Structure 1
Amino acid sequence: MDGPSGGLRLERGTTGFFRIGDPDIRRTDPRACRTAWYAAARAADGRVAEFENRQIAQTFHTATIDRPDGRHCALFQAYSPLVAFVDEPHDWYTDQFREPPAWAAGLGGFGFTVLSAAVLLSPLSTADTSALSAVERQQIDYWRPETVGAVLFNSWG
């Protein structure tokens, strides 16, 4: 999970850019995300308001839970089992990340890693990007994301 510099290691494909036939590009099954989210809702004494599979060009699925303390919105990364929390659904994200609620830790039991706002808002220069492909590096040069979260939860296509 962490790279040699201590920053998050970004795996090949997590930007959403790859060539057909590239090896080792895994996808996060939306059904697994949905199952984990419904379990999280039960554990949080809430109810799932929506679960939306990623749109074309997005690197994330969007899910919300309604609880007495308000609505909680999570993003499930489509190419790696990573989860981020935001205030509300958008098409892409740069600096809108927030700390996950305590009940989100239960997503770990389903194989997901819930990322803190500090990790997501950290400068991209702190991440280990050595596993990214040439096409991903080209897209980063083009779009110029400033944070780790902006790379992981984008709709650059």
Structure 2
Amino acid sequence: MIRLARGATGFRGPHEAPLPRTEAALFRAACFTAAMEARGRAGEMVPGEMHTFRHATLTDGYGRAFTALGHVHLPVVAFTTDAVSEGKPVPGFADPPLWAQAFETAGLQVMGVKELMTPLEEVDVTDLTPAELTEIRYWKPACLGDVLFNWWD
């Protein structure tokens, strides 16, 4: 069973300790390394100030585009092949391309579609705070990916 760590939703209560943070520079560097390995290029990184993830579009040497999603609070990365629109749910997850190994080398866990689509009923949420559980009850995410990569306010 997958166990979610505190910070997965991006929320905390007013009297709770600050959430952990992953370094934006780590994600950015992994994006550039992955793009070099893919013989492609990395687009500008969009910061995750108003949501739980930062993202950047990476294009491989064949012109295929992937958007890398890097969680702001947990060392987790996922991918989509569709454009990410601000305020809208991630349009669908994609299995990581072969060059995603650069993110693992940087110390980030790369998640595939099977993990991300795990129904929330099959996810252990015991490490989440009361504030996070309240948000989950309000937003009613269907799967793990919807919890990790959200625009909830």
TM-score (norm 1): 0.89
- Structure 1's consecutive aligned runs of 4 or more residues displaced over 2 angstroms after TM superposition are 19-25, 90-95
**1:94–1:147 Cα contact (<8 Å) kept:** no
Give the RMSD, CA atoms, in angstroms: 1.6
- CA distances 1:40-90 after superposition (whole Å, capped 9, x unpaired): 11111111122111142x100011112224111110001101001012213
Q: Does 1:81 align with 2:83?
A: no
Q: Counterpart of 1:144?
A: 140
The answer as to 2:93 corresponding to 1:97 is yes
Gaps of 5+ in 1: 1-5
The residue type paired with residue 85 of structure 2 is H
TM-score w.r.t. the length of structure 2 is 0.91
> Structure 2 stretches of 5 or more lacking a match?
none
Percent identical residues: 33
Q: Deviations over 1:3-40 (max 9, x none)?
A: xxx2x211111101003552372101111110111111
Q: Distance in 2 between matches of 1:69 and 1:95?
A: 20
- Out of 48, 51, 59, the position equivalent to 2:52 is 59
Partner Cα separation in structure 2 for residue 146 and residue 94 of structure 1: 13
Count of equivalent residues: 150
